[in-house]
Structure 1
Amino acid sequence: MTRRVLVLGGTGEARRLAAALVADGVDVVSSLAGRVADPVLPPGEVRVGGFGGAAGLAAWLEADPVAAVVDATHPFAATMTASAVEACATVGRPLLRLQRPGWTEQSGDDWRWVDSLPEAAEAVAGFGSVFLTTGRQGLAAFAGLTGRCVVRSVDPPAPPLPARTTVVLARGPFTVEEELALMRQHAVEVLVTKDSGASMTAAKLTAARELGLPVVLVRRPRLPSGLAAVATVEEVLAWLGAQPG
Protein backbone atom coordinates (compact mmCIF):
# COMPACT_ATOMS: atom_id res chain seq x y z
CA MET A 1 0.00 0.00 0.00
CA THR A 2 1.02 3.63 -0.57
CA ARG A 3 3.20 4.71 2.33
CA ARG A 4 2.11 8.35 2.63
CA VAL A 5 -1.35 9.69 1.86
CA LEU A 6 -2.95 13.13 1.95
CA VAL A 7 -6.58 13.00 3.10
CA LEU A 8 -8.61 16.13 2.44
CA GLY A 9 -10.94 15.71 5.36
CA GLY A 10 -13.32 17.18 7.86
CA THR A 11 -15.95 14.44 7.55
CA GLY A 12 -16.66 11.31 9.54
CA GLU A 13 -15.56 9.22 6.57
CA ALA A 14 -12.23 11.04 6.47
CA ARG A 15 -11.64 10.33 10.16
CA ARG A 16 -12.49 6.64 9.73
CA LEU A 17 -10.17 6.44 6.74
CA ALA A 18 -7.32 8.10 8.65
CA ALA A 19 -7.84 5.71 11.57
CA ALA A 20 -7.76 2.67 9.27
CA LEU A 21 -4.61 3.87 7.51
CA VAL A 22 -2.80 4.68 10.75
CA ALA A 23 -3.73 1.21 12.04
CA ASP A 24 -2.13 -0.24 8.88
CA GLY A 25 1.06 1.73 9.48
CA VAL A 26 0.45 4.23 6.69
CA ASP A 27 1.75 7.79 7.14
CA VAL A 28 -1.35 10.00 6.88
CA VAL A 29 -1.67 13.77 6.60
CA SER A 30 -5.24 14.95 7.16
CA SER A 31 -6.04 18.47 5.95
CA LEU A 32 -8.93 20.36 7.57
CA ALA A 33 -10.36 23.60 6.24
CA GLY A 34 -10.40 25.21 9.67
CA ARG A 35 -13.98 26.49 9.50
CA VAL A 36 -14.92 24.87 12.83
CA ALA A 37 -13.31 26.33 15.94
CA ASP A 38 -12.92 23.00 17.75
CA PRO A 39 -12.89 20.24 15.13
CA VAL A 40 -12.86 16.52 15.90
CA LEU A 41 -9.31 15.56 14.94
CA PRO A 42 -8.43 12.32 13.15
CA PRO A 43 -5.45 10.12 14.03
CA GLY A 44 -2.13 10.92 12.39
CA GLU A 45 -0.67 14.23 11.27
CA VAL A 46 -3.16 17.08 10.90
CA ARG A 47 -2.84 20.40 9.09
CA VAL A 48 -5.50 23.10 9.44
CA GLY A 49 -6.24 25.83 6.91
CA GLY A 50 -6.57 26.20 3.17
CA PHE A 51 -3.82 25.62 0.63
CA GLY A 52 -4.50 28.74 -1.41
CA GLY A 53 -6.44 27.20 -4.26
CA ALA A 54 -5.27 24.68 -6.83
CA ALA A 55 -1.89 26.38 -7.28
CA GLY A 56 -1.22 26.32 -3.54
CA LEU A 57 -2.18 22.66 -3.24
CA ALA A 58 -0.01 21.79 -6.23
CA ALA A 59 2.93 23.58 -4.61
CA TRP A 60 2.33 21.71 -1.35
CA LEU A 61 2.23 18.38 -3.20
CA GLU A 62 5.46 19.20 -5.03
CA ALA A 63 7.17 19.91 -1.73
CA ASP A 64 5.78 16.90 0.12
CA PRO A 65 6.39 13.24 -0.78
CA VAL A 66 2.71 12.24 -0.78
CA ALA A 67 2.06 9.33 -3.12
CA ALA A 68 -1.73 9.64 -3.32
CA VAL A 69 -4.55 12.01 -2.43
CA VAL A 70 -8.03 11.13 -1.17
CA ASP A 71 -10.64 13.88 -1.30
CA ALA A 72 -12.99 13.03 1.57
CA THR A 73 -14.35 16.52 2.06
CA HIS A 74 -18.03 17.37 2.51
CA PRO A 75 -20.26 16.68 -0.52
CA PHE A 76 -20.78 20.45 -0.85
CA ALA A 77 -17.08 21.38 -0.71
CA ALA A 78 -17.07 21.82 -4.48
CA THR A 79 -14.27 24.40 -4.57
CA MET A 80 -11.87 22.13 -2.69
CA THR A 81 -12.75 19.17 -4.89
CA ALA A 82 -12.13 21.21 -8.05
CA SER A 83 -8.80 22.41 -6.66
CA ALA A 84 -7.78 18.84 -5.84
CA VAL A 85 -8.54 17.70 -9.39
CA GLU A 86 -6.52 20.51 -10.92
CA ALA A 87 -3.60 20.22 -8.50
CA CYS A 88 -3.26 16.44 -8.79
CA ALA A 89 -3.38 16.66 -12.57
CA THR A 90 -0.68 19.33 -12.50
CA VAL A 91 1.77 17.36 -10.35
CA GLY A 92 0.80 13.86 -11.43
CA ARG A 93 -0.60 12.47 -8.16
CA PRO A 94 -3.37 9.85 -8.16
CA LEU A 95 -6.63 11.20 -6.74
CA LEU A 96 -9.76 9.44 -5.52
CA ARG A 97 -12.98 10.99 -4.25
CA LEU A 98 -14.63 9.42 -1.17
CA GLN A 99 -18.24 10.59 -1.04
CA ARG A 100 -21.03 9.04 0.96
CA PRO A 101 -24.34 8.39 -0.84
CA GLY A 102 -27.07 10.98 -0.60
CA TRP A 103 -30.29 10.49 1.32
CA THR A 104 -33.13 8.42 -0.14
CA GLU A 105 -36.73 9.60 0.08
CA GLN A 106 -39.04 7.28 1.99
CA SER A 107 -42.78 6.76 2.15
CA GLY A 108 -44.39 9.67 3.97
CA ASP A 109 -41.66 12.18 3.08
CA ASP A 110 -42.54 15.53 1.53
CA TRP A 111 -39.22 16.51 -0.06
CA ARG A 112 -38.86 19.56 -2.27
CA TRP A 113 -35.58 19.70 -4.20
CA VAL A 114 -33.77 22.90 -5.13
CA ASP A 115 -30.38 23.62 -6.69
CA SER A 116 -29.05 26.36 -4.41
CA LEU A 117 -29.45 28.13 -1.08
CA PRO A 118 -31.12 31.17 -2.72
CA GLU A 119 -33.68 28.80 -4.28
CA ALA A 120 -34.20 27.22 -0.85
CA ALA A 121 -34.86 30.67 0.62
CA GLU A 122 -37.47 31.33 -2.06
CA ALA A 123 -39.11 27.96 -1.36
CA VAL A 124 -39.62 28.72 2.36
CA ALA A 125 -40.46 32.43 2.12
CA GLY A 126 -44.12 31.83 2.94
CA PHE A 127 -43.59 29.75 6.09
CA GLY A 128 -43.93 31.17 9.59
CA SER A 129 -41.24 29.05 11.26
CA VAL A 130 -38.22 27.66 9.40
CA PHE A 131 -35.56 25.25 10.72
CA LEU A 132 -32.26 25.95 8.91
CA THR A 133 -29.67 23.16 9.13
CA THR A 134 -27.52 24.13 6.16
CA GLY A 135 -24.49 25.10 8.25
CA ARG A 136 -23.35 28.62 9.01
CA GLN A 137 -21.80 29.16 5.57
CA GLY A 138 -24.28 30.73 3.17
CA LEU A 139 -26.90 31.83 5.69
CA ALA A 140 -26.94 35.25 4.06
CA ALA A 141 -29.18 33.70 1.40
CA PHE A 142 -31.94 33.50 4.03
CA ALA A 143 -31.43 36.99 5.51
CA GLY A 144 -34.58 38.33 3.85
CA LEU A 145 -36.93 35.82 5.49
CA THR A 146 -39.56 37.49 7.67
CA GLY A 147 -40.77 34.42 9.54
CA ARG A 148 -39.17 32.92 12.64
CA CYS A 149 -35.99 30.97 11.89
CA VAL A 150 -34.10 28.43 13.95
CA VAL A 151 -30.46 28.20 12.86
CA ARG A 152 -28.40 25.26 14.12
CA SER A 153 -24.63 25.20 13.73
CA VAL A 154 -21.52 24.07 15.59
CA ASP A 155 -20.10 27.61 15.88
CA PRO A 156 -21.96 30.94 16.10
CA PRO A 157 -23.03 32.14 12.64
CA ALA A 158 -22.01 35.55 11.36
CA PRO A 159 -24.53 38.11 10.08
CA PRO A 160 -26.47 38.79 8.00
CA LEU A 161 -29.15 36.52 9.42
CA PRO A 162 -32.95 36.58 9.24
CA ALA A 163 -34.34 39.26 11.57
CA ARG A 164 -36.20 36.77 13.81
CA THR A 165 -33.48 34.17 14.32
CA THR A 166 -32.91 31.78 17.20
CA VAL A 167 -29.44 30.22 17.13
CA VAL A 168 -28.96 26.70 18.49
CA LEU A 169 -25.29 25.77 18.94
CA ALA A 170 -24.93 21.99 18.83
CA ARG A 171 -22.82 19.25 17.29
CA GLY A 172 -24.42 16.01 16.12
CA PRO A 173 -25.26 13.22 16.15
CA PHE A 174 -28.85 13.94 17.22
CA THR A 175 -31.54 11.43 18.10
CA VAL A 176 -35.00 11.43 16.58
CA GLU A 177 -36.40 12.29 20.00
CA GLU A 178 -34.12 15.32 20.29
CA GLU A 179 -35.11 16.51 16.83
CA LEU A 180 -38.80 16.04 17.54
CA ALA A 181 -38.49 18.00 20.78
CA LEU A 182 -36.66 20.89 19.09
CA MET A 183 -39.12 21.09 16.19
CA ARG A 184 -42.08 21.05 18.55
CA GLN A 185 -40.52 23.61 20.88
CA HIS A 186 -40.09 26.08 18.03
CA ALA A 187 -43.30 25.13 16.18
CA VAL A 188 -41.25 24.41 13.06
CA GLU A 189 -43.25 24.39 9.83
CA VAL A 190 -40.51 23.46 7.34
CA LEU A 191 -36.99 22.02 7.45
CA VAL A 192 -34.18 23.20 5.16
CA THR A 193 -31.06 21.11 4.70
CA LYS A 194 -28.44 20.03 2.20
CA ASP A 195 -28.29 16.51 0.80
CA SER A 196 -25.20 15.69 2.85
CA GLY A 197 -26.21 12.07 3.30
CA ALA A 198 -24.67 11.87 6.77
CA SER A 199 -26.21 9.24 9.03
CA MET A 200 -25.33 11.30 12.10
CA THR A 201 -27.70 14.08 10.99
CA ALA A 202 -30.44 11.97 9.35
CA ALA A 203 -32.66 11.98 12.44
CA LYS A 204 -34.06 15.38 11.48
CA LEU A 205 -35.51 13.83 8.32
CA THR A 206 -37.20 11.11 10.34
CA ALA A 207 -38.56 13.71 12.74
CA ALA A 208 -39.91 15.81 9.88
CA ARG A 209 -41.59 12.73 8.43
CA GLU A 210 -43.21 11.88 11.76
CA LEU A 211 -44.48 15.45 12.13
CA GLY A 212 -45.67 15.66 8.53
CA LEU A 213 -43.38 18.59 7.75
CA PRO A 214 -42.06 19.43 4.29
CA VAL A 215 -38.30 19.33 3.75
CA VAL A 216 -36.49 21.58 1.29
CA LEU A 217 -33.31 19.83 0.18
CA VAL A 218 -30.44 21.42 -1.72
CA ARG A 219 -29.01 19.11 -4.37
CA ARG A 220 -25.32 18.29 -4.32
CA PRO A 221 -22.99 19.96 -6.80
CA ARG A 222 -21.86 17.66 -9.59
CA LEU A 223 -18.42 16.13 -9.35
CA PRO A 224 -15.84 17.23 -11.93
CA SER A 225 -15.85 15.17 -15.10
CA GLY A 226 -13.52 12.20 -14.97
CA LEU A 227 -13.04 12.20 -11.19
CA ALA A 228 -13.08 8.64 -9.86
CA ALA A 229 -15.32 8.31 -6.81
CA VAL A 230 -16.22 5.61 -4.30
CA ALA A 231 -18.68 5.51 -1.41
CA THR A 232 -16.89 3.56 1.33
CA VAL A 233 -13.64 3.58 3.28
CA GLU A 234 -13.10 -0.05 2.28
CA GLU A 235 -13.09 0.90 -1.40
CA VAL A 236 -10.52 3.60 -0.72
CA LEU A 237 -8.28 1.11 1.09
CA ALA A 238 -8.50 -1.28 -1.85
CA TRP A 239 -7.63 1.54 -4.27
CA LEU A 240 -4.66 2.62 -2.18
CA GLY A 241 -3.50 -0.97 -1.97
CA ALA A 242 -3.25 -1.06 -5.76
CA GLN A 243 -1.15 2.14 -5.94
CA PRO A 244 2.62 1.96 -6.20
CA GLY A 245 4.42 2.74 -2.96
Structure 2
Amino acid sequence: MHILILGGTTEARALAGLLHGGGVRATSSLAGRVASPRLPEGEVRIGGFGGAQGLAEWIGAHAVDAVIDATHPFAERISFNAAGAAVTAHVPLLALRRPGWVPAAGDRWLSVPSLAAAADALDGLGERVFLTTGRMGLAAFAALPHRFLVRSVDAPEAPMPARAEVLLDRGPFTLDGERELLARHRIDVLVTKDSGAAATAPKLTAAREARIPVVVVRRPPVPDGVPVATTPEEAVAWVRSRLP
Protein backbone atom coordinates (compact mmCIF):
# COMPACT_ATOMS: atom_id res chain seq x y z
CA MET A 1 0.00 0.00 0.00
CA HIS A 2 1.29 3.46 -0.91
CA ILE A 3 0.17 6.46 1.17
CA LEU A 4 0.73 10.05 0.10
CA ILE A 5 1.09 12.43 3.07
CA LEU A 6 0.63 16.10 2.25
CA GLY A 7 2.42 18.51 4.59
CA GLY A 8 5.47 18.98 6.75
CA THR A 9 3.70 19.64 10.05
CA THR A 10 4.68 17.97 13.31
CA GLU A 11 1.73 15.62 12.89
CA ALA A 12 2.73 14.80 9.30
CA ARG A 13 6.26 13.87 10.37
CA ALA A 14 4.96 11.73 13.24
CA LEU A 15 2.54 9.97 10.88
CA ALA A 16 5.30 9.27 8.36
CA GLY A 17 7.42 7.77 11.13
CA LEU A 18 4.59 5.55 12.35
CA LEU A 19 3.77 4.28 8.87
CA HIS A 20 7.42 3.77 7.96
CA GLY A 21 8.05 1.90 11.20
CA GLY A 22 4.98 -0.24 10.58
CA GLY A 23 6.11 -1.31 7.13
CA VAL A 24 3.69 0.85 5.15
CA ARG A 25 5.14 2.77 2.21
CA ALA A 26 4.58 6.50 2.65
CA THR A 27 5.66 9.46 0.55
CA SER A 28 5.64 12.86 2.26
CA SER A 29 5.09 15.88 0.04
CA LEU A 30 6.43 19.22 1.30
CA ALA A 31 5.47 22.54 -0.25
CA GLY A 32 9.05 23.84 -0.23
CA ARG A 33 8.21 27.16 1.37
CA VAL A 34 10.55 26.63 4.34
CA ALA A 35 14.25 26.95 3.55
CA SER A 36 15.44 24.13 5.82
CA PRO A 37 12.46 21.86 6.57
CA ARG A 38 12.60 19.04 9.09
CA LEU A 39 12.42 15.98 6.88
CA PRO A 40 10.23 13.01 7.85
CA GLU A 41 11.12 9.35 7.61
CA GLY A 42 10.39 7.51 4.39
CA GLU A 43 10.20 8.91 0.87
CA VAL A 44 10.04 12.69 0.44
CA ARG A 45 9.16 14.97 -2.48
CA ILE A 46 9.35 18.78 -2.40
CA GLY A 47 7.36 21.25 -4.49
CA GLY A 48 3.86 21.80 -5.84
CA PHE A 49 1.81 19.54 -8.09
CA GLY A 50 0.23 22.11 -10.38
CA GLY A 51 -3.23 22.22 -8.83
CA ALA A 52 -5.82 19.52 -8.30
CA GLN A 53 -5.37 18.02 -11.77
CA GLY A 54 -1.61 17.78 -11.38
CA LEU A 55 -2.02 16.13 -8.00
CA ALA A 56 -4.51 13.62 -9.42
CA GLU A 57 -2.07 12.77 -12.19
CA TRP A 58 0.78 12.27 -9.68
CA ILE A 59 -1.45 10.00 -7.59
CA GLY A 60 -2.18 7.86 -10.63
CA ALA A 61 1.39 7.80 -11.92
CA HIS A 62 2.80 6.71 -8.55
CA ALA A 63 0.13 4.14 -7.67
CA VAL A 64 -1.04 5.95 -4.54
CA ASP A 65 -3.75 4.05 -2.67
CA ALA A 66 -4.81 6.79 -0.22
CA VAL A 67 -4.03 10.41 0.58
CA ILE A 68 -3.72 12.02 4.00
CA ASP A 69 -3.89 15.81 4.09
CA ALA A 70 -1.71 16.68 7.09
CA THR A 71 -0.96 20.23 5.97
CA HIS A 72 -1.13 23.28 8.22
CA PRO A 73 -4.73 24.04 9.30
CA PHE A 74 -4.54 27.28 7.27
CA ALA A 75 -3.23 25.69 4.04
CA GLU A 76 -6.70 26.03 2.52
CA ARG A 77 -5.75 25.84 -1.16
CA ILE A 78 -3.88 22.54 -1.01
CA SER A 79 -6.66 21.02 1.12
CA PHE A 80 -9.28 21.81 -1.51
CA ASN A 81 -6.93 20.66 -4.28
CA ALA A 82 -6.46 17.40 -2.39
CA ALA A 83 -10.23 16.94 -2.14
CA GLY A 84 -10.66 17.50 -5.86
CA ALA A 85 -7.73 15.26 -6.76
CA ALA A 86 -8.98 12.43 -4.57
CA VAL A 87 -12.32 12.47 -6.39
CA THR A 88 -10.64 12.55 -9.80
CA ALA A 89 -8.17 9.78 -8.95
CA HIS A 90 -10.77 7.68 -7.09
CA VAL A 91 -8.70 7.33 -3.90
CA PRO A 92 -9.81 7.85 -0.28
CA LEU A 93 -8.77 11.06 1.49
CA LEU A 94 -8.33 11.77 5.20
CA ALA A 95 -7.61 15.14 6.82
CA LEU A 96 -5.27 15.08 9.82
CA ARG A 97 -5.93 18.19 11.89
CA ARG A 98 -4.65 18.93 15.37
CA PRO A 99 -7.40 20.32 17.65
CA GLY A 100 -7.72 24.08 17.79
CA TRP A 101 -6.92 26.16 20.85
CA VAL A 102 -9.60 26.67 23.51
CA PRO A 103 -9.69 29.87 25.61
CA ALA A 104 -9.15 29.51 29.34
CA ALA A 105 -10.36 31.61 32.26
CA GLY A 106 -8.73 35.02 32.11
CA ASP A 107 -8.10 35.00 28.36
CA ARG A 108 -9.02 38.15 26.43
CA TRP A 109 -9.56 36.68 22.98
CA LEU A 110 -11.15 38.30 19.96
CA SER A 111 -12.03 35.75 17.28
CA VAL A 112 -11.94 36.97 13.66
CA PRO A 113 -12.44 35.21 10.31
CA SER A 114 -9.40 36.49 8.39
CA LEU A 115 -6.11 38.40 8.50
CA ALA A 116 -7.87 41.45 7.09
CA ALA A 117 -10.37 41.30 9.95
CA ALA A 118 -7.48 40.92 12.40
CA ALA A 119 -5.91 44.10 11.04
CA ASP A 120 -9.22 45.95 11.43
CA ALA A 121 -9.56 44.69 15.00
CA LEU A 122 -6.27 46.26 16.13
CA ASP A 123 -7.68 49.77 16.28
CA GLY A 124 -7.81 50.76 19.94
CA LEU A 125 -6.13 47.60 21.30
CA GLY A 126 -2.62 49.06 21.56
CA GLU A 127 0.36 50.28 19.56
CA ARG A 128 2.85 47.41 19.93
CA VAL A 129 1.68 44.24 18.18
CA PHE A 130 3.24 40.79 18.39
CA LEU A 131 2.37 39.26 15.01
CA THR A 132 2.72 35.47 14.83
CA THR A 133 0.68 34.67 11.71
CA GLY A 134 3.63 33.52 9.62
CA ARG A 135 5.71 35.22 6.95
CA MET A 136 2.97 35.25 4.32
CA GLY A 137 -0.09 37.46 4.42
CA LEU A 138 1.57 40.44 6.09
CA ALA A 139 0.13 42.70 3.40
CA ALA A 140 -3.07 42.85 5.48
CA PHE A 141 -1.14 44.86 8.08
CA ALA A 142 1.11 46.87 5.76
CA ALA A 143 -0.85 50.13 5.92
CA LEU A 144 -1.21 50.21 9.71
CA PRO A 145 0.78 52.70 11.84
CA HIS A 146 1.39 50.24 14.69
CA ARG A 147 4.78 48.92 15.75
CA PHE A 148 5.01 45.22 14.90
CA LEU A 149 7.19 42.42 16.16
CA VAL A 150 6.92 39.80 13.40
CA ARG A 151 8.04 36.27 14.27
CA SER A 152 8.47 33.64 11.56
CA VAL A 153 10.71 30.72 10.64
CA ASP A 154 11.95 32.36 7.42
CA ALA A 155 12.22 36.01 6.39
CA PRO A 156 8.81 37.59 5.62
CA GLU A 157 7.72 38.53 2.14
CA ALA A 158 6.83 42.08 1.06
CA PRO A 159 4.62 43.99 1.40
CA MET A 160 4.82 44.20 5.16
CA PRO A 161 4.33 46.87 7.85
CA ALA A 162 6.75 49.81 7.66
CA ARG A 163 7.35 49.80 11.41
CA ALA A 164 8.24 46.16 11.88
CA GLU A 165 11.01 44.29 13.65
CA VAL A 166 11.51 40.73 12.36
CA LEU A 167 12.39 37.90 14.71
CA LEU A 168 13.42 34.68 12.93
CA ASP A 169 12.79 31.75 15.24
CA ARG A 170 11.31 28.28 15.22
CA GLY A 171 9.34 26.60 18.01
CA PRO A 172 8.85 24.94 20.34
CA PHE A 173 8.82 28.02 22.57
CA THR A 174 8.96 28.06 26.36
CA LEU A 175 6.63 29.93 28.69
CA ASP A 176 9.53 31.76 30.34
CA GLY A 177 10.83 32.78 26.93
CA GLU A 178 7.44 34.11 25.85
CA ARG A 179 7.00 36.03 29.09
CA GLU A 180 10.38 37.68 28.64
CA LEU A 181 9.68 38.52 24.99
CA LEU A 182 6.33 40.20 25.76
CA ALA A 183 7.91 42.24 28.53
CA ARG A 184 11.08 43.20 26.63
CA HIS A 185 9.15 44.45 23.61
CA ARG A 186 6.36 45.98 25.71
CA ILE A 187 3.74 44.16 23.67
CA ASP A 188 0.17 45.50 23.89
CA VAL A 189 -1.65 42.91 21.75
CA LEU A 190 -0.95 39.49 20.24
CA VAL A 191 -2.22 38.41 16.81
CA THR A 192 -2.14 34.73 15.94
CA LYS A 193 -3.80 32.06 13.84
CA ASP A 194 -5.59 29.18 15.55
CA SER A 195 -2.95 26.69 14.49
CA GLY A 196 -3.54 24.62 17.62
CA ALA A 197 0.12 23.63 17.93
CA ALA A 198 1.41 22.84 21.42
CA ALA A 199 4.85 24.12 20.38
CA THR A 200 3.53 27.68 20.01
CA ALA A 201 0.84 27.66 22.71
CA PRO A 202 2.98 29.20 25.52
CA LYS A 203 2.49 32.66 24.00
CA LEU A 204 -1.21 32.38 24.84
CA THR A 205 -0.47 31.62 28.49
CA ALA A 206 2.03 34.48 28.65
CA ALA A 207 -0.54 36.85 27.14
CA ARG A 208 -3.17 35.71 29.65
CA GLU A 209 -0.82 36.33 32.56
CA ALA A 210 0.06 39.79 31.23
CA ARG A 211 -3.61 40.62 30.57
CA ILE A 212 -2.80 41.21 26.91
CA PRO A 213 -5.66 40.88 24.38
CA VAL A 214 -5.25 38.21 21.71
CA VAL A 215 -6.72 38.49 18.22
CA VAL A 216 -7.25 34.91 17.01
CA VAL A 217 -7.83 34.18 13.32
CA ARG A 218 -10.22 31.23 12.96
CA ARG A 219 -9.06 28.33 10.80
CA PRO A 220 -10.86 27.55 7.53
CA PRO A 221 -13.11 24.48 7.43
CA VAL A 222 -12.06 21.11 6.06
CA PRO A 223 -13.62 20.48 2.62
CA ASP A 224 -17.10 18.94 2.78
CA GLY A 225 -17.23 15.18 3.01
CA VAL A 226 -13.60 14.68 4.07
CA PRO A 227 -13.25 12.65 7.30
CA VAL A 228 -10.97 14.09 9.98
CA ALA A 229 -8.46 12.50 12.36
CA THR A 230 -7.03 14.54 15.22
CA THR A 231 -3.89 12.50 15.95
CA PRO A 232 -1.31 10.58 13.89
CA GLU A 233 -2.41 7.41 15.69
CA GLU A 234 -5.99 7.89 14.46
CA ALA A 235 -4.67 8.36 10.93
CA VAL A 236 -2.65 5.13 11.20
CA ALA A 237 -5.78 3.28 12.30
CA TRP A 238 -7.59 4.70 9.25
CA VAL A 239 -4.79 3.41 7.01
CA ARG A 240 -4.78 0.00 8.72
CA SER A 241 -8.51 -0.33 8.14
CA ARG A 242 -7.82 -0.10 4.40
CA LEU A 243 -5.01 -2.63 4.23
CA PRO A 244 -5.89 -5.80 2.31
Which residue number in structure 2 is paired with residue 213 of structure 1? 212
> Which residue number in structure 2 is paired with residue 64 of structure 1?
62
SS of equivalent to 2:78: helix
Which of these residues, 103, 113, 116, is aligned with residue 115 of structure 1? Answer: 113
- Matched ranges for 1:4-23 at <5 A: 4-23=2-21
> Separation in 2 of the partners of 1:235 and 1:162?
41
CA distance in 1 between counterparts of 2:121 and 2:156 reads 22
Matching residue of 1:185: 184
Is 1:125–1:145's contact at 8 Å kept on the other side of the alignment?
A: no
Deviation string for 1:120-159 (max 9, x for gaps)? Answer: 0011133210000000110110101111100000001122
C-alpha contact 1:57 1:87 (8 A) present in aligned 2 = yes
Match of residue 81 from structure 2 = 83
Query: 1:48 maps to what in 2?
Result: 46
SS at match of 1:113: strand
Q: Secondary structure at the match of 1:6?
A: strand
Distance in structure 1 (CA, Å) of the matches to 2:20 and 2:101: 30
User: What letter corresponds to residue 28 of structure 1 in structure 2?
Assistant: A
Secondary structure of the structure 1 residue equivalent to 2:204: helix
TM-score by length of 1: 0.97
Distance 1:48 1:101 in 2: 26
Read off the aligned partner of 2:235 and give its amino acid letter: V
2:171 equivalent in structure 1: 172
Query: What runs of 5+ residues in structure 1 fail to find an aligned partner?
Result: none
Task: Give the distance between the partners of 2:130 and 2:123, measured in 1 at CA.
Answer: 12
Equivalents in 2 of 1:154, 1:49: separation in Å? 18
Secondary structure of 1:236's aligned partner: helix
Aligned-partner SS, 2:158: coil
**What SS does structure 2 have at the residue aligned with 1:37?**
coil
Q: CA deviation at 1:244?
A: 3.8
Name whichever of 155-164 and 112-121 sits farther off: 155-164
1:151 aligns to what?
A: 150
The number of residue pairs the alignment matches comes to 243
TM-score scaled to structure 2, two decimals? Answer: 0.98
Q: Is the 8 A contact 2:108 2:213 kept in 1?
A: yes
Residues 125 and 146 of structure 1 are in contact (CA less than 8 Å); yes or no, is this contact kept in structure 2?
A: no
Task: Report what 1:232 is aligned to.
Answer: 231
Whether the 8 Å CA contact 1:145–1:162 is kept in 2: the answer is: yes
1:35 equivalent in structure 2: 33
Cα distance between partner residues in 2 of 1:131 and 1:145:
14
| Whole-Å separation in 2 of the counterparts to 1:209 and 1:96 | 35
Letter in 1 for 2:89: V
- Cα distance in 2 between the residues matched to 1:120 and 1:103: 17
Q: Secondary structure at the match of 1:151?
A: strand
TM-superposed deviation, 1:66: 1.2
Partner Cα distance (1:107, 1:239) in 2: 36
Q: Which amino acid aligns with 2:167?
A: V
Distance 2:164 2:233 in 1: 42
Residues 150, 167 of structure 1: 8 Å contact kept: yes
- Asked if 1 retains the 8 angstrom alpha-carbon contact of 2:111 and 2:218, the reply is yes
Give CA-to-partner distance per residue, 1:183-217, whole Å, 9 cap, x none: 11111000000000000000000000010000000
Q: Which structure 2 segments of 5+ residues have no match?
A: none
The answer to whether the Cα contact below 8 Å between 2:95 and 2:222 also exists between their aligned partners in 1 is: no
Deviation (angstroms), 1:107: 0.3
- Give, as a single letter, the amino acid of the residue that structure 2 aligns with 1:185: R
In structure 2, what residue type is equivalent to 1:90?
T
Once superposed, which parts of structure 1, at least 4 consecutive aligned residues long, lie more than 2 Å away? none
